[in-house]
Amino acid sequence: MQEKVMLEDKKKMLKEFFQDKNYKPMKFKELVGFLQVPRSEKNELKEVLDLLISEAILVVDTKGQYRVAGEGVKVGMFSGTSRGFGFVILEGDEDDIFIPENATKGALHGDKVTVAIKEGQTGRRKEGAIVSVLERGNTEIVGTFEKSRNFGFVLPDNQKFGKDIFIPKEFTKGAVTGHKVVVKITDFGDATKSPEGKVVEILGHINDPGVDIMSVVKANNLPVEFPEEVMRQLNNIPEEIDEKDMVGRMDIRNLQTVTIDGEDAKDLDDAITITKIGENYQLGVHIADVTNYVKEGSALDKEALKRGTSVYLVDRVIPMLPHKLSNGICSLNAGVDRLALSCFMDIDAKGNVIGHRVAETIIKVDRRMTYTSVAKIVEDNDDEEKKEYEELVPMFLLMQELAEILRERRHKRGSINFDFPESKIIVDKKGKPIEVKPYERNKATKIIEEFMLIANETIAEDFFWQEIPFLYRTHENPDEEKIRKLAIFINNFGHSIKIGQEEIHPKELQKLLLKIEDTPEEPIISRLTLRSMKQARYTVANTGHFGLSAKYYCHFTSPIRRYPDLQIHRIIKENLNGKMGENRINHYDKILPEVADHTSKTERRADESEREVEKLKKVEYMMSHIGETFEGVISGVTSWGLYVELPNTVEGMVRVSEMKDDYYIYDEEHYQMVGEHTKKTYKLGQKVIVEVMNADKIQRTIDFELVEVQE
């Protein structure tokens, strides 16, 4: 503590020294002499100077001299691009700073940098120049090795890295062209010199099964193997529930109970019971009691927090918890006793929760149902399926009835539904994609969605009013400027949205999405509406959920695969058992902000990894369709070409440089491409026929050529 105070004092003294009007810029050596710093304290001076730089109080100029940073100097994270330029993302600031290629000063994607923002700018995007790199974001990079006679180089998988990495011959580790490798950077280079590195691991050849996905796993630092300590702890976990764990729990094994999941799901963490008395429904949402086996502070708990979430990568799952838990004792498998944390809700005919109870329970699932089977019953009225599950049919019809009431209630308050077709990629045993198609959502998936939403809202509201430390799932109101840009964009299609003095109500965006349903522009307007919103995250303050138009929301329903759910289960159980005293409240007040921040980051890491793998598999799928033609829709227009999306969710590009019939100019105001001579216009939502020209697994790009525009 005393050292910290001394450091702060030295920082203050040095700050005053540099801000003195008589100070003239000096190099480090000159400062040491001028300030008469003993040799033993030189490192300490450097540490304090680095701190002042990291706080954007000082900068080091091109001559290596320390100067006071101007008003326009900020600290942020550099986000690179494959085209050389980049952006600096400032924490807490919505607007990124554009950095031209000649002003990056050798900064690489992910680096912490100081940036000088140009003064007197009136344009929409601020521009700046990198002053210095404070901290390197990546010391290891995954990429594809290319061999030359006397050296090698690696093309980074992450296109944002922007530069190839030079590998001296003695550090290639025997890699050959086409090998996927992990490279440790030994020299980060500068504005004129490429980074240099050495190969530390060869993952395999780019065409070997599984190497592509393992490259994404390594690049995103996803932990795969569980530590020995965690695996040892599993020896103490039983295969079936222990008698002593049942003591004091509500026994609801006599209630008709089902799980409804996808065909290939193995970690079943939610089960449903439902009855109706008079006009009111009694809905029970029963969630696996994972905290009974994952104790706070244990090796299992620490590893689960580190991972934050399970990651689903087309042909594999990297689980948050080992399979013995996630597919075994914690999975609500049919026909066996399981421990659960249950939320029982009394819901009226309008979908209002008029009463609820949370309890630790023992449950026994009667049938493990799939979305497909339940949809056949409630949607298709399939006689064969109804006969197979005869005793459960009334239950499913009641579920459908309540789900529609809950959906209507959400709709009325302005909750936004983004029904994007997610991709379902089917691969063979070697991981080769054999089919890409939209993932069909049906009435059964929507039933479970509604029941999970209402349980999450009910729990969040309960704990908000109890004023107990908690983790909420929040979604802030969109940035005003982004919504104004969206309003200008949709105006081109004859649509409008009402914006209040300071903010927009979610109902306005909901009405817009309803208006554009089944129109050619629906996909692009839906995507732009989504992009205009902020990212949902985990927070300790309950600020509401804009997208759901909900005042209270949390994640309660998936503790097998999400750490925040596991964390709030602990809080709920301690509270139920009267253990939430002052010490525990202080404990949670202390740890929850870090848990919220960390799990928000691991969620983003998982999302990015899943997107990357999906993109890879789509490119690989299209490699076997080169020369074929497909119908598609123009889903994006940029200065460098047209994005075209196929009905199977694959998106590729028609490059403007390849459109030989005319010289095309990008009309930014109307988001369209116009031929200079022919005046031929390509705009969003237009139906086209394209031919697949190329699919590049290294660049992760798909190139189309226009064959025909459909009127």
Residue 663 has pLDDT above 70, yes or no: yes
Distance CA 438, CA 427 (A): 15
SS3 533: coil
Name every residue whose Cβ is closer than 8 Å to that of residue 170 and which is 6 or more positions away in sequence.
Answer: none
Distance CA 542, CA 629 (A): 50
Output helix, strand, coil percentages for the chain, rounded to the nearest 5: 35, 30, 35
Residue 4 has pLDDT above 60, yes or no: no
**Cut 0.95: pTM above it:** no
Report residue 179 CA to chain centroid gap. Answer: 28
Query: What are the Cα distances from residue 67, in Å, to 23, 56, 63, 475?
Result: 9, 11, 11, 40
Terminal CA-CA length for the chain: 73
The ranges of the chain annotated as CATH 2.40.50.140 are: 73-135, 625-710
Distance CA 604, CA 433 (A): 25
Q: Judge whether 173 and 184 are in contact, CB under 8 Å.
A: no
Name every residue whose Cβ is closer than 8 Å to that of residue 452 and which is 6 or more positions away in sequence.
Answer: 270, 285, 557
Q: From the DSSP assignment, how many helices (H) and strands (E) are in the chain?
A: 17, 33
Residue with tokens 């959906």: 407
* Residue 364 identity: K
- Token pair belonging to 258: 């089902």
Find the Cα–Cα–Cα–Cα dihedral 570, 573, 577, 581, rounded to 10°. Answer: 40
H or E stretch including 88? Answer: strand 86-89
* Residue 526 identity: S
Is pLDDT larger for residue 11 or for residue 586?
586
Residue with tokens 């944002």: 160
pLDDT of residue 440: 79
The ranges of the chain annotated as CATH 2.40.50.700 are: 140-208
- Token pair belonging to 452: 């999970």
Query: Phi, psi (5° rounding) for residue 355?
Result: -175, 150
Distance CA 30, CA 65 (A): 9
Distance CA 72, CA 408 (A): 50
- pLDDT, one tens digit per residue, over 402-439 is 999 999 999 999 888 776 678 889 999 988 999 999 88
Residue with tokens 């949370």: 358
Pairing relationship of beta strands 58-60 and 66-68 according to DSSP bridges: antiparallel
Distance CA 668, CA 645 (A): 20
SS3 281: strand
Distance CA 257, CA 277 (A): 17
pLDDT of residue 308: 97
DSSP E strands: which ranges in 610-680? Answer: 629-638, 641-645, 651-655, 664-667, 672-675
pLDDT of residue 619: 95
How many CB atoms neighbour CB 569 within 10 A? 22
* 425, β-bridge pairs: 436
- pLDDT, one tens digit per residue, over 285-318 is 999 999 999 999 999 999 999 999 999 999 889 9
The ranges of the chain annotated as CATH 1.10.10 are: 2-68
pLDDT of residue 234: 93
Distance CA 534, CA 685 (A): 25
CATH architecture for residues 73-135: Beta Barrel (2.40)
Q: Judge whether 273 and 284 are in contact, CB under 8 Å.
A: yes
Q: What angle in degrees, to the nearest 10, is found between the helix axes of 211-219 and 582-623? A: 140
Per-residue pLDDT, averaged over 247-263, amounts to: 95
Name every residue whose Cβ is closer than 8 Å to that of residue 9 and which is 6 or more positions away in sequence.
Answer: none
- pLDDT, one tens digit per residue, over 559-603 is 999 999 999 999 999 999 999 999 999 999 999 999 999 999 999
Per-residue pLDDT, averaged over 488-500, amounts to: 80
- Token pair belonging to 376: 């056949």
Report residue 616 CA to chain centroid gap. Answer: 17
Q: Judge whether 603 and 536 are in contact, CB under 8 Å.
A: no
* Residue 175 identity: A
Per-residue pLDDT, averaged over 383-412, amounts to: 95
Query: What are the Cα distances from residue 456, in Å, to 179, 259, 342, 625, 708?
Result: 46, 17, 12, 44, 49
pLDDT of residue 420: 67
CA dihedral sign, ordered 320, 544, 95, 645: positive
pLDDT of residue 121: 65
Position 185 confidence tier, pLDDT thresholds 50, 70, 90: very high
Homologous superfamily, domain 625-710: Nucleic acid-binding proteins (2.40.50.140)
Distance CA 223, CA 293 (A): 21
**Of the spans 14-23, 53-62, 66-75, 146-155, which averages the highest pLDDT?**
146-155
Task: Say which DSSP state 550 is in.
Answer: B
Please name which of 355, 378, 331 lies closest in space to residue 283, comparing C-alpha atoms.
355
Is residue 231 left, alpha or beta, with left meaning phi > 0 and alpha meaning psi from -120 to 50? alpha
- pLDDT, one tens digit per residue, over 129-184 is 888 888 888 889 999 999 988 899 999 988 888 889 999 999 999 999 999 999 99
**Which CATH code fits 2-68?**
1.10.10
Distance CA 324, CA 266 (A): 11
Query: Phi, psi (5° rounding) for residue 393?
Result: -55, -45
**Which CATH code fits 140-208?**
2.40.50.700
pLDDT of residue 644: 93
In the predicted model, what is the mean pLDDT of the chain? 89
Name every residue whose Cβ is closer than 8 Å to that of residue 640 and which is 6 or more positions away in sequence.
Answer: 655, 656, 657
